[in-house]
Amino acid sequence: MRSDTVKKGIERVPNRGLLYATGISKSDMKKPFIGIASSFTDIIPGHVGMRELERFIERGVCSGGGVPFIFGIPGICDGIAMGHKGMRYSLPLREIVADTIESVAGAHCFDGLVLLTNCDKITPGCLIAAARLNIPTVVVTAGPMLCGRYKGTIRLDLVHDTFEAVGRAKAGKISGEELDELEMEACPGFGSCQGLYTANTMSCITETMGMSLTGCATALAVSARKKRIAKESGERVVEMVRKNILPRSVMTKNALLNAIKVDMALGGSSNTVLHLTRIAKELDIDLPLEVFNKVSRSTPHIINLRPSGEYFLEDLEYAGGIPAILNVLKDGLKPSPTVNGRRGILEVARKGRVLNSAVIHNRSNPYHKEGGIAILFGSLAPEGAVVKQIAVSSKMWKFTGRARVFDGEEKAMKAVMGRKIKKGDVVIIRYEGDKGAPGMPETLSVTAVLTGMGMGESVALITDGRFSGGTQGPCIGHVAPEAAVGGPIAVVRNGDRINIDIKNRKLDLVLSEKEIRARLAKWKAPAPKVKTGYLAKYAKLI
């Protein structure tokens, strides 16, 4: 066992002395040491229920014959961080999570890990750590929250009924009293936000990749089922230690391709492109952006979840969960193992059942013929840009508009709230990329207000930053190269024509190559926005 490094031999007397100080017994020294990395915090709704799940994971580890050790990893709530400078820390947190798990597990020579996570950047950070450490690991995602209720019957979610409600209130469509009620009722308790936003998308992808037990992604945060999965995960990781089942044998290229396929079928968050390519890099797997387009073209969108659809994660749970989605897609899936043991992903797919065909459609009757995400290329995005195409009205799939340029989200938000954005505008928000912001913040506040004000079919938004999984409308993010490193988005001027063609995967600045090169030749890199602290270090290293 790896833990023998700290507990066997005469030279380890001091190490054992410290371990005994924690309360373990001599018989425990013969058992596998299992780290439980918990992202519990009181400030993230998706994490406040984790104290109880920690207990059930501990029970499972002990039941399986291991010794559990809980340690903490940090978390940020993207919703609370949204719309201000705090959002700069969200994506960089992913690397802190991975580094923290690596540091604690590496220093203490754990034999295996259970990673208790739930939200946007924490789950991919856990997967990166699992790939890096390559010791037996099971991921437990803590589950989605229930939908809110308004006037007893109207179902609510965070994005549509708070972020977009701001725009509806600004446009005079709802009263201030209604807005107050919505903010109180939209999120009725703990769990990850109710739609297919980034947190829940990453949970679904984690289960598809085989890194969570079957059913984990959609089991509701408040359910007894979630507790049972937590206990079973603790038991399972001890067995994995004994059989030396490692993350790199589970997270194969086939697993990544299956994850992309399920993501497309679900219509998941555009942030999954950032996370899956990062996980692939940690695994030394080549995963070019063109793969996302190829899979999207051949994968139907079969469930219509919020923000672009009408259903909630609880509806997916009761309709059969990820196994039901896999069953519909089974002919296009690739063989891949899972942490379930003998049950590979193809067996999970065969046993999956669609329990509500009104929620989960079949391949011959999809909501959309193509998957949720498209990658655009062109003179404005030579290295690619990402759009959640199923959330874009068909009227806006092909659109040419005039650029309204803002160097930062706050300036754009001020213009939107001041009603200075008009029909036919293409809002350009730049210097919000990984280096430029730094940290590539989400711009959900701007997109949600535009949608709430009724501009989702007349105004587009393009940024070198990114969007929340809750974004809908003609919003194109991740434009690369970003402005801070001299990408073409840096030289767009007010009034320039921008051409969007989602069907043909094109995003162009309607200027000659000569004019673009001339502008870039005169461009000078701006001074860093942040010069000290973690964000400054992140901007240099990313």
CA separation for the pair 542, 539 (Å, rounded): 6
- Band of residue 244 on the pLDDT scale cut at 50, 70, 90: very high
The total number of structural domains that make up the chain = 3
The closest of 313, 309, 308, 303 to 363, measured between CA atoms, is 303
Quote the domain boundaries for residue 514: 375-541
* Active site residue ranges: 468
CB contact set of 469 (below 8 Å; sequence gap of 6+):
120, 195, 196, 197, 198, 199, 200, 201, 268, 269, 270, 271, 307
pLDDT of 480 over the 90 cut: yes
User: pLDDT tens digits, residue range 279-309?
Assistant: 999 999 999 999 999 999 999 999 999 988 9
Cα 23 off chain centre by: 38
Q: Which helix (H) or strand (E) covers residue 508, if one does?
A: strand 506-509
Q: Is residue 345 part of a domain?
A: yes
115 phi/psi in degrees, rounded to 5: -105, 110
The closest of 473, 174, 204, 478 to 321, measured between CA atoms, is 204
CA separation for the pair 503, 480 (Å, rounded): 19
pLDDT of 468 over the 90 cut: no
Torsion of CA 87, 88, 93, 99, to 10 degrees: -170
User: pLDDT tens digits, residue range 518-527?
Assistant: 999 999 999 9
Crossing angle of helices 224-243/50-64, nearest 10°? 40
317 phi/psi in degrees, rounded to 5: -55, -50
DSSP line for 149-213: EETTTEEE-HIIIIIHHHHHHHTTSS-HHHHHHHHHHS--SSSB-SSSSHHHHHHHHHHHTTSS-
The two tokens of residue 410 are 């706050």
User: pLDDT tens digits, residue range 53-75?
Assistant: 999 999 999 999 999 999 999 99
Residues 517 and 463 in one domain: yes
User: pLDDT tens digits, residue range 122-149?
Assistant: 999 999 999 999 999 999 999 999 999 9
Read off the pLDDT of each residue in 79-88 and give the average, rounded to a whole number: 92
Is 78 annotated in some ligand binding site? yes
**Boundary of a domain, candidates 134, 165, 186:** 186
pLDDT of 452 over the 80 cut: yes
Q: Is residue 9 part of a domain?
A: no
| More confident position, 265 or 471 | 265
CA separation for the pair 172, 414 (Å, rounded): 18
The two tokens of residue 308 are 């672009």
Q: Is residue 363 part of a domain?
A: no
Q: Domain holding 298: CATH number?
A: 3.40.50.2300
Residues 130 and 74 in one domain: yes
Read off the pLDDT of each residue in 309-324 and give the average, rounded to a whole number: 97
Can you give the pLDDT at residue 448? 84
Read off the pLDDT of each residue in 176-201 and give the average, rounded to a whole number: 95
CA separation for the pair 446, 471 (Å, rounded): 9
As a whole-number percent, the residues of the chain with pLDDT over 70 amount to 100
Strand locations in 222-381, DSSP E?
A: 373-376
Q: Is residue 25 part of a domain?
A: no
Can you give the pLDDT at residue 359? 98
- Band of residue 262 on the pLDDT scale cut at 50, 70, 90: very high
**Boundary of a domain, candidates 165, 186, 207:** 186
Is 180 annotated in some ligand binding site? no
233, with CB counted inside 10 A (0-12, 13-18, 19+), is buried
Residues 455 and 517 in one domain: yes
Residues 201 and 69 in one domain: yes
CA separation for the pair 128, 93 (Å, rounded): 12
Residues 477 and 415 in one domain: yes
The pTM of the whole model exceeds 0.85: yes
- DSSP 8-state assignment for residue 146: P
Can you give the pLDDT at residue 94? 98
Residues 346 and 412 in one domain: no
59, with CB counted inside 10 A (0-12, 13-18, 19+), is middle
pLDDT of 155 over the 80 cut: yes
Q: Are 136 and 122 in contact, with CB atoms under 8 Å apart?
A: no
The two tokens of residue 51 are 């104290």
**Boundary of a domain, candidates 351, 385, 418:** 351
Can you give the pLDDT at residue 167? 87
Q: Are 405 and 316 in contact, with CB atoms under 8 Å apart?
A: no
- Band of residue 447 on the pLDDT scale cut at 50, 70, 90: confident
Q: Are 429 and 440 in contact, with CB atoms under 8 Å apart?
A: no
pLDDT of 507 over the 90 cut: yes
Helix, strand, or coil (residue 387): strand
Torsion of CA 449, 200, 122, 529, to 10 degrees: -20
Residues 345 and 242 in one domain: yes
CA separation for the pair 169, 452 (Å, rounded): 8
Helix, strand, or coil (residue 413): helix
Is 434 annotated in some ligand binding site? no
CB contact set of 54 (below 8 Å; sequence gap of 6+):
36, 38, 40, 70, 116
- Band of residue 471 on the pLDDT scale cut at 50, 70, 90: confident
- Band of residue 470 on the pLDDT scale cut at 50, 70, 90: confident
Residues 170 and 302 in one domain: no
Read off the pLDDT of each residue in 90-116 and give the average, rounded to a whole number: 98
The two tokens of residue 407 are 């160097």
Q: Is residue 7 part of a domain?
A: no
- DSSP 8-state assignment for residue 2: T
State the Cα angle at 114 between 110 and 116, rounded to 5°. 135
CA separation for the pair 327, 342 (Å, rounded): 18
Residues 401 and 290 in one domain: no
Residue 538 half-sphere exposure toward CB, CA atoms < 13 A = 23
- Residues paired with 399 in a beta bridge: 500
Q: Is residue 22 part of a domain?
A: no
Q: Measured on CA atoms in the order 158, 160, 165, 167, is the torsion positive or negative? A: positive
Residue 273 half-sphere exposure toward CB, CA atoms < 13 A = 30
Q: Are 434 and 440 in contact, with CB atoms under 8 Å apart?
A: yes
Residues 293 and 393 in one domain: no
Residues 244 and 165 in one domain: no
Q: Is residue 358 part of a domain?
A: no
Range scoring the smallest mean pLDDT among 166-175, 400-409, 422-431, 456-465: 166-175
Read off the pLDDT of each residue in 430-437 and give the average, rounded to a whole number: 96
Q: Domain holding 432: CATH number?
A: 3.50.30.80
494: how many CB neighbours lie within 10 A of its CB?
A: 11
Mean of pLDDT over the chain: 96
Q: Is residue 317 part of a domain?
A: yes
- Band of residue 469 on the pLDDT scale cut at 50, 70, 90: confident
Residues 462 and 395 in one domain: yes
CA separation for the pair 288, 335 (Å, rounded): 21
Cα 242 off chain centre by: 32
